[in-house]
């Protein structure tokens, strides 16, 4: 037993008579206190560690093989018996061998005695921040990390768990991973990933493999899906609500029928998907859907802002405007706002190819262009008009043109195609003007002949009767078809309803058993031109993304609007713009649904216009 001085005894008066009899106990405490004071004074280095204590000459334990064990024993006794006076502060360092990828964890404990709470809290925070920084740096280097093994390899498991929880749900996200051991028993581990690796982790979702598993068991799955009014197993991506039903059926209902390896694949897909859905709600939505938006523009070459707003439910106009101003040149995406304030996104990589293809058909290959229908010609012309406007604007910015087109040859090619297309449009205008002049002369001759023969008849009634003979233009009104009682009853209910758009599901149950009745009513409404009936497929996602999470909703719904709306494209767009914020079944119509409505009405307008033009030519 070492005999302490009076000052030392008072400094460590918390020791009881039993512990203070331990040999060298005061020497250990004095050394911890000395290094502590030195650290507080300089603010550098560290507090006392076991390595410092075993190497210190101030502790007079003989240099024998048991010296280190004795010092460790004394420290453990102090921590165990006097936790309020002697404290341990832990920190972690993570190292990965680049060649073997083997992880080593350096766990360091520092000791303090009679340390003020404010100093203790400050030092603990510094050590925790340093440990967390090392952990986050480790996780960013790997797409996925086995958290269970990480904690298992640590000596102080409680400490590393606490460090992980500091950023859990913010920068660190966890999910369950399922596997089969050598005895084919299910084994579960916790995996984690860093927010920085979100896109790489999301790409790990193997939807093709899941679709293959679903196709193998499609008969059993479809039978159960029909109970929920779901007609098929198709799904868009991992956010599709239909996957909730599909995964639950496979995991809960068909777990004994599905191969164990496939079942593990489905369980891992469901676990990672559930985690990603939570991450999507936490992080900036633009980060979550950025790659999908770029991919959508790439696949479609050209799309409008309404297309993106319709496809991505979480996207708002404000977010889209922010995205449109962020690194567009780096993504090789061209943004263009037309005179009507419509915002377009064009794939810069395929811009020249797209324009060259249209230029070839419209200007070079006249035979092919003339074989197109009137609607197809209009679509080609409208698209070429847009590309020329975009190209002209791009050429004004030399840097943008070089970035998107790659070299001066591409720039010159775009300029040449714009010039040739303008010449083509001018020729078209001249030919149209000449044809109009000939038609007017021809009509003038016909009018004179008609006027001559009309003057031969003195009675106006006879002329009017002749004009009203069945089969003439005046009698060309559409003949109404007979309607069933069900259609009459339905129309009687909806015609008094003051609403710009009405869902058929408000009046009829859209179930497979009722399919014949629904088809009959829809056909009769269309044949009698009572309403325009617009089918909305995948209605749970497109039309009712919120309500479908709580209620069973049919996979298809029909929306009815007045026929007068399709008089002009401007009137159609004005109508669809007015639907923003309008609610069906207490849920605002999503942008994607409004886009579908607008496209359907515009297509219907073009079809009717083409019919009228064909009749005129006849």
pLDDT tens, 349-360?
A: 888 888 899 888
pLDDT tens, 98-129?
A: 888 788 889 999 999 999 999 999 999 999 99
* Most confident listed range (210-224, 397-411, 597-611): 210-224
The length of the chain in residues reads 618
Gyration radius (Cα) of the chain, Å = 39
Rounded CA-CA distance 33/187 in Å is: 48
Residue 471 has a pLDDT of: 38
pLDDT tens, 260-292?
A: 999 999 999 999 999 998 888 887 777 778 888
The DSSP symbol for 564 reads: G
- Mean pLDDT to the nearest integer, 465-484: 49
**Given pLDDT bands bounded at 50, 70 and 90, which one contains residue 492?**
confident
The DSSP symbol for 182 reads: T
The DSSP symbol for 476 reads: -
- Mean pLDDT to the nearest integer, 86-93: 92
Residue 481 has a pLDDT of: 63
Residue 458 has a pLDDT of: 47
- Mean pLDDT to the nearest integer, 45-73: 90
Strand order in the sheet with 172-180: 145-146, 186-194, 172-180
Residue 271 has a pLDDT of: 94
Three-state DSSP class for 168?
Answer: strand
The DSSP symbol for 543 reads: T
Count of C-beta atoms within a 10 Å radius of residue 135: 25
* Pick from 215, 201, 200: nearest CA to 269: 201
Buried b (16+ CB within 10 A) or exposed e, 378-400: eebbebbebbbebbeebbeeeeb
pLDDT exceeds cutoff 80 at 449: no
Buried b (16+ CB within 10 A) or exposed e, 67-80: ebebbeebbebbee
pLDDT tens, 165-189?
A: 999 988 999 999 999 988 889 999 9
* Most confident listed range (147-151, 235-239, 436-440, 540-544): 147-151
Rounded CA-CA distance 26/497 in Å is: 92
Helix 398-405 vs helix 348-359: angle between axes, to the nearest 10 degrees? Answer: 80
More confident of the two residues 240 and 8:
240
Out of 25-34, 394-403, 450-459, least confident range: 450-459
pLDDT exceeds cutoff 60 at 329: yes
pLDDT exceeds cutoff 50 at 464: no
The DSSP symbol for 363 reads: I
**Given pLDDT bands bounded at 50, 70 and 90, which one contains residue 463?**
very low
pLDDT tens, 588-617?
A: 888 888 888 988 898 888 888 877 777 776
**Given pLDDT bands bounded at 50, 70 and 90, which one contains residue 472?**
very low
pLDDT exceeds cutoff 80 at 460: no
* Pick from 80, 59, 85: nearest CA to 70: 59
- Mean pLDDT to the nearest integer, 459-485: 49
pLDDT exceeds cutoff 50 at 467: no
333 phi and psi angles, rounded to 5 deg: -120, 130
Three-state DSSP class for 278?
Answer: helix
pLDDT exceeds cutoff 60 at 40: yes
pLDDT exceeds cutoff 70 at 1: no
- Mean pLDDT to the nearest integer, 486-491: 87
Query: What percent of the chain lies above the pLDDT cut of 70?
Result: 89
Contact of 414 with 395, CB cutoff 8 Å: yes
- Tell me the sheet residues that pair with 48: 111
Contact of 293 with 323, CB cutoff 8 Å: yes
Count of C-beta atoms within a 10 Å radius of residue 249: 22
- Mean pLDDT to the nearest integer, 370-382: 81
Beta strand 103-113 with 145-146: parallel, antiparallel or unpaired? Answer: unpaired
| SS3 assignment for 410-448 | HHHHHHHHHHHHHHHHHHHHHHHHHHHHHHHHHHHHHHH
**Given pLDDT bands bounded at 50, 70 and 90, which one contains residue 322?**
confident
Residue 442 has a pLDDT of: 55
Q: What is the mean pLDDT of the chain?
A: 83
């Amino acid at each position: 037993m070492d005999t302490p001085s009076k000052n030392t005894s008072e400094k460590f008066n918390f020791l009881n008579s039993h512990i203070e009899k331990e040999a060298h106990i005061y020497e250990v405490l004095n050394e911890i206190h000395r290094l502590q004071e030195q650290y507080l004074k300089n603010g550098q280095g560290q507090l006392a560690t076991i390595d410092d204590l075993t190497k210190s000459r101030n502790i007079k334990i003989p240099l024998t093989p048991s010296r280190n064990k004795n010092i460790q024993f004394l420290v453990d006794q102090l921590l165990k018996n006097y936790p309020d006076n002697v404290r341990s502060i832990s920190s972690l360092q993570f190292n990965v061998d680049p060649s073997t990828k083997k992880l080593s964890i350096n766990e360091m404990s520092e000791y303090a005695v009679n340390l003020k709470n404010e100093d203790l809290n400050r030092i603990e925070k510094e050590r925790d921040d340093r440990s967390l920084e090392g952990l986050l740096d480790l996780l960013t280097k790997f797409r996925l990390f086995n958290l269970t093994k990480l904690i298992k390899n640590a000596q102080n498991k409680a400490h590393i768990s606490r460090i992980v929880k500091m950023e859990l749900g913010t920068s660190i996200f966890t999910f369950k991973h399922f596997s089969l051991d050598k005895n084919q028993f299910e084994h579960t581990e916790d995996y984690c990933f860093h927010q920085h690796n979100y896109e790489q982790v999301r790409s790990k979702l193997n939807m093709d493999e899941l679709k293959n598993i679903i196709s193998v068991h499609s008969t059993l799955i479809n039978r159960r899906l029909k109970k929920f009014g779901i007609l098929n197993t198709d799904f868009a991506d991992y956010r599709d609500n239909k996957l909730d039903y599909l995964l639950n059926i496979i995991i809960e209902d068909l777990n004994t029928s599905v191969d164990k390896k496939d079942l593990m694949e489905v369980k891992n897909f469901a676990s990672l998907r559930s985690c990603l859905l939570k991450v999507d709600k936490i992080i900036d939505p633009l980060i979550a859907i950025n790659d999908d938006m770029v991919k959508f523009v790439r696949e479609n070459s050209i799309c409008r802002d309404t297309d993106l707003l319709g496809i991505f439910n979480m996207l708002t106009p404000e977010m889209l405007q922010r995205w449109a101003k962020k690194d567009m040149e780096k993504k090789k995406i061209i943004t263009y706002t037309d005179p009507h304030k419509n915002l377009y996104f064009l794939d810069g990589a395929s811009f020249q190819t797209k324009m060259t293809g249209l230029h070839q058909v419209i200007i070079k290959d006249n035979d092919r262009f003339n074989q197109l229908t009137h609607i197809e010609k209009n679509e080609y012309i409208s698209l070429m008009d847009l590309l020329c406007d975009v190209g002209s604007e791009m050429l004004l910015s030399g840097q943008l043109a070089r970035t998107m087109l790659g070299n001066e040859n591409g720039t010159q090619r775009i300029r040449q195609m714009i010039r040739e297309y303008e010449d083509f449009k001018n020729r078209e205008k001249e030919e149209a003007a000449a044809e109009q002049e000939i038609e007017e002369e021809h009509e003038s001759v016909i009018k004179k002949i008609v006027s001559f023969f009309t003057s031969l008849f003195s009675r106006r009634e006879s002329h009017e009767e002749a004009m009203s003979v069945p089969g003439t233009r005046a009698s060309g009104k559409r003949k109404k078809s007979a309607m069933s009682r069900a259609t009459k009853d339905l129309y009687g209910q909806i015609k008094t309803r003051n609403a710009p758009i009405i869902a058929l599901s408000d009046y009829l149950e859209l179930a497979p058993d009722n399919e014949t009745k629904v088809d009959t009513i829809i056909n009769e409404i269309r044949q009698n031109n009572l309403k325009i009936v617009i089918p909305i497929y995948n209605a749970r996602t497109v039309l009712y993304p919120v309500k479908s999470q709580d209620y069973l909703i049919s996979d298809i719904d029909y929306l009815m609007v007045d026929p007068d709306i399709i008089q002009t494209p401007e009137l159609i767009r004005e109508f669809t713009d007015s639907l923003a914020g309008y609610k069906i079944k207490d849920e605002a119509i999503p942008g994607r649904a409004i886009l579908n409505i607008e496209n359907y009405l515009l297509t219907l307008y073009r079809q009717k216009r083409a019919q009228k033009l064909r009749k005129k030519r006849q």
